[in-house]
């Protein structure tokens, strides 16, 4: 498409928007409402996901080693653990290190009076690639139980809960975005259909004069894209400007929440911004394309 | 230019628009297709526009057999003919200038060409001073002149007019007919479907009379009465 032709189509699209300003405004508001819900929900999901990631990061498996296992046995056990699939990192904790960790945790050295570092068991802290492989790694560890493992400490219930909630949130957010996009397309289709119907005579005249389908279609498609993009820009701006304030209000109003880290705004909007602009444009193009199709058969 | 061979159009409700019509119109001719309401004039115009498909028969216009035209070829076909309707069919939201320029934009004429040609054509139909007016600011005659300017701006070899004077007073109707005559003198084939007896009688051109969908008579330099006398 040449520059001159693009300029013509763009001009026609803007003229169409202005001429049918009431319907255009209604369409923009409709798209904006749907995209606003999508944006708010996305910000929420991004934070829940962020929280779950932090939680996942904190969940590791600890293998306690029998006191009578010699140094070679410990090294051998460590090597065996490293060969287990989905294990991303294995960290050895000596008697001394375990003692220091306990000292740090309690802050009051008095309560450790008379307790020697040797009283704290040696262990391996195991990080796994993804929380979903938690049970697989546990099963593999059970096969190494005769290599000096006293017991395996883990938080299987927490892991299961985190995985379930995480999957649920992702599934709900996906479905919600899908449903809202569908609703927007239906509404925008009907809105543009009214506009197109009102311009049926105009379309017929264009066809009689020899206009191609695309010559007629382009201004309507651009009109739809403009409605979609303007309708998606508004909620992004609203969510963008409100996000930091909402976090501040939540943290001030609920002191316990202070310990929870929120996902930084730029991390959310670097994904949300192009996504909703694309979604808005897609909604607009599908909506206008669908509504003009049957009016072109003249 | 136009050749109809045994063309019949039967509508879905069973009504016959035209019945086994055959005719030939040569390049450069000026032809009236006359008849009362329901005689088949509009059906013939709509068939030539390929707005309707014939039930049977063959239509060839500008060398193109209409039944073989694909949807993609339609715009090209319509660009080779100018069309003037009784109700003008102007784009209400565009000025006189833009209505005429629109036909040129469709054929990808350059802006320079549009700026040069449109004023010339508007001057030719006597609308030079109305270029910036919108259709609702024009009289019926002026609207029809605009439609005429749009129809001829791309210099089509064929001009198809469906009751072009139907909504006009007699004086304005004659002005339009003189314009059509001038266009014809310059080499364009002009086909006018009308039931305006005075116009047909005054012009003395070829007259094809339709009655109940069939050709009643086809007379060179005829009049309305010539065609229907003895039918």
Q: Is the pTM of this model over 0.90?
A: no
- Phi then psi for residue B55, to 5 deg, are -70, -40
Kindly tell me if the per-residue pLDDT of B231 is higher than 50: no
Helices marked H in chain A: 3-19, 21-58, 71-82, 95-106, 134-142, 156-198, 200-209, 213-253, 265-293
| Full DSSP string of B11-40 | -TTS-EEEEEEEEEE-TT-EEEEE--TTSS
Residue A298 has pLDDT above 60, yes or no: no
* d(CA A275, nearest CA chain B) in Å: 35
Give dist(CA A127, CA B109) in Å, integer.
Answer: 69
- What's the rounded Cα separation, in Å, for the pair A65 and A67? 6
The pLDDT of residue B77 is: 92
**Residues A23/A191, Cβ–Cβ less than 8 Å:** yes
Task: Lay out the sheet containing A149-153: strands in order across.
Answer: A87-93, A123-128, A61-65, A149-153
Interface test with A, best of B73, B82, B93 (most A CBs within 10 A): B93
Inter-chain contact B93–A202, Cβ cutoff 8 Å?
yes
Q: What is the pLDDT of residue A256?
A: 63
The B residues from 145 to 184 touching A (CB cutoff 8 Å) are: 150
Sign for the CA dihedral angle at B173, B179, B182, B187 comes to: negative
Residues of B within 8 A of A14 (CB-CB) are none
Contacts of B105 in chain A (CB under 8 A): 8
Mean pLDDT computed over A231-239? 89
Determine, for residues A210 and B51 on separate chains, whether the beta-carbon distance falls below 8 Å.
no
Q: What percent of chain B is modeled with pLDDT above 90?
A: 69
Query: Looking at the partner chain, which of A208, A213, A215 has a beta carbon nearest the beta carbon of B83?
Result: A208
Query: What's the mean pLDDT in A7-11?
Result: 88
pLDDT at B198 over 80: yes
Distance from C-alpha of A51 to C-alpha of A128, rounded to nearest angstrom: 18
Asked if A7 has any chain B CB less than 8 Å from its own CB, the reply is no
**What's the whole-number average pLDDT of chain A?**
84
Strand-by-strand arrangement of the B158-162 sheet: B81-84, B158-162, B189-194, B30-34, B206-211, B214-219
Q: What is the mean pLDDT of residues B173-192?
A: 93
Interface test with A, best of B105, B113, B152, B159 (most A CBs within 10 A): B105
**Higher-scoring residue by pLDDT: A1, A82:** A82
Residue A16 has pLDDT above 90, yes or no: no
The residue-averaged pLDDT of B69-89 equals 91
- Averaged confidence pLDDT in chain B: 91
pLDDT of residue A200: 81
Rounded mean pLDDT of A132-144? 87
Residues of chain A in contact with residue B53, where contact means CB-CB under 8 angstroms, are none
Give percent of chain A above pLDDT 90: 14
pLDDT of residue A280: 87
Chain A residues close to B150, C-beta within 8 Å: 209
């Amino acid at each position: 498409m040449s520059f001159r032709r693009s300029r013509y189509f763009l001009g026609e699209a803007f003229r169409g928007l202005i001429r049918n300003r009431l319907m255009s405004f209604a369409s923009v508001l409709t798209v904006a409402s749907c995209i606003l819900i999508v944006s708010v929900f996305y910000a929420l999901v991004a934070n829940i996901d962020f929280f779950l990631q932090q939680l996942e990061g904190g969940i590791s498996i600890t293998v306690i080693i029998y006191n009578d296992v010699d140094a070679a046995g410990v090294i051998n056990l460590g090597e065996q653990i490293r060969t287990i699939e989905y294990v991303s990192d294995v960290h050895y904790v000596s008697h001394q290190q375990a003692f220091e960790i306990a000292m740090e945790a309690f802050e009051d050295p008095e309560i450790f009076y008379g307790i020697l570092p040797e009283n704290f068991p040696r262990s391996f802290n195991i990080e796994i690639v993804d929380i979903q492989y938690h049970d697989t790694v546990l099963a593999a560890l059970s096969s190494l139980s005769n290599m000096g493992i006293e017991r395996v400490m883990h938080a299987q219930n927490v892991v299961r809960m985190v995985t379930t909630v995480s999957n649920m949130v992702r599934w709900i957010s996906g479905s919600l975005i899908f449903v809202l996009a569908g609703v927007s397309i239906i509404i925008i289709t009907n809105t543009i259909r009214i506009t197109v119907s009102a311009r049926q005579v105009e379309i017929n005249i264009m066809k009689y004069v020899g206009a191609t389908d695309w010559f007629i279609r382009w201004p309507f498609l651009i009109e739809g894209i403009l409605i979609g993009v303007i309708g998606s820009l508004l909620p992004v701006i609203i969510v963008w400007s409100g996000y930091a304030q909402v976090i501040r209000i939540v943290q001030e109003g609920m002191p316990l929440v202070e310990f929870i880290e929120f996902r930084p705004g730029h991390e959310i909007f670097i994904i949300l911004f192009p996504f909703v602009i694309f979604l808005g444009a897609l909604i607009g193009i599908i909506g206008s394309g669908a509504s003009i199709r049957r009016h072109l058969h003249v | 230019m136009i050749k109809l061979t045994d063309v019949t159009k039967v509508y879905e409700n069973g009504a016959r628009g035209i019945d086994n019509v055959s005719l030939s119109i040569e390049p450069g001719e000026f032809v009236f297709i006359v008849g009362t309401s329901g005689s088949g004039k509009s059906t013939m115009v709509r068939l030539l526009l390929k707005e309707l498909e014939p039930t049977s028969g063959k239509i060839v216009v500008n060398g193109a057999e209409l039944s073989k035209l694909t949807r993609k070829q339609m715009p090209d076909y319509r660009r080779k003919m100018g069309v003037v309707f009784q109700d003008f069919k102007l784009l209400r939201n565009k000025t006189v200038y833009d209505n005429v320029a629109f036909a040129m934009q469709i054929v990808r004429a350059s802006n320079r060409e549009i700026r040069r040609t449109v004023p010339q054509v508007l001057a030719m139909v006597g609308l030079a001073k109305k270029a910036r007016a919108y259709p609702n600011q024009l009289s019926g005659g002026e609207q029809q002149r605009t439609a005429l300017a749009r129809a001829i701006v791309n210099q089509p070899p064929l001009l198809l007019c469906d009751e072009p004077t139907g909504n006009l007073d007699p004086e304005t109707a004659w002005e339009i007919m003189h314009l059509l005559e001038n266009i014809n003198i310059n080499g364009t084939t002009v086909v006018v479907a009308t039931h305006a007896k005075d116009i047909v009688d005054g012009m003395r051109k070829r007259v094809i009379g339709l009655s109940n969908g069939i050709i009643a008579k086809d007379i060179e330099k005829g009049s309305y009465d010539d065609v229907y006398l003895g039918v």
